[in-house]
Amino acid sequence: WVQLRESGGGSVQAGGSLKLSCIVSDYHPTDGCLGWFRQAPGKEREGVGGFYTRTGHGGYPDSVRGRFTYSRETDKTTLYLQMNNLKPEDSAVYYCGATPADKCLWGPIDRRSYSDWGQGTQVTVFS
């Protein structure tokens, strides 16, 4: 089944940038979604960017729009999340996720759509 592995987290000063990577293996979607999520201590996991694999269409929540950008290698094996102008409230464990291969029921940035996750990578933004 699908395997996901994130990397690229770290500590950065507010206003700085980080780029996360996620290697995606054994995923052959017909109508699924891939996305990036984060979870801070005591909070629910929230989507920060995701897309439909068939069309490439996706979106971002208001909290990161204009600062975060997802992308995918042309061979579709690696996802990226470019994060600019980072804020302390962006501190969290970041995960990449995959929905079932044939569905993305609640859309690409709703965690209810997702069935598989990577192990996560910590991002800490200090002021």
- pLDDT digits 0-9 by tens, 20-46: 999 999 999 989 999 999 999 999 999
How far apart are alpha carbons 36 and 49 in whole angstroms? 5
Q: Which residues contact 115 (CB under 8 A, 6 or more apart)?
A: 98, 99, 100
β-strand pairing of 68-72 with 78-83: antiparallel
**Residue 11, both tokens:** 């500590």
Is residue 111 helix, strand or coil?
helix
How far apart are alpha carbons 9 and 88 in whole angstroms? 14
- Alpha carbon of 21 to those of 36, 103, 112: distances in Å? 10, 23, 22
- Alpha carbon of 48 to those of 1, 26, 113: distances in Å? 24, 23, 14
User: What pLDDT shows up at residue 1?
Assistant: 87
Q: Report the mean per-residue pLDDT for the chain.
A: 96
With cut-offs at 50, 70 and 90, classify the pLDDT of residue 75: confident
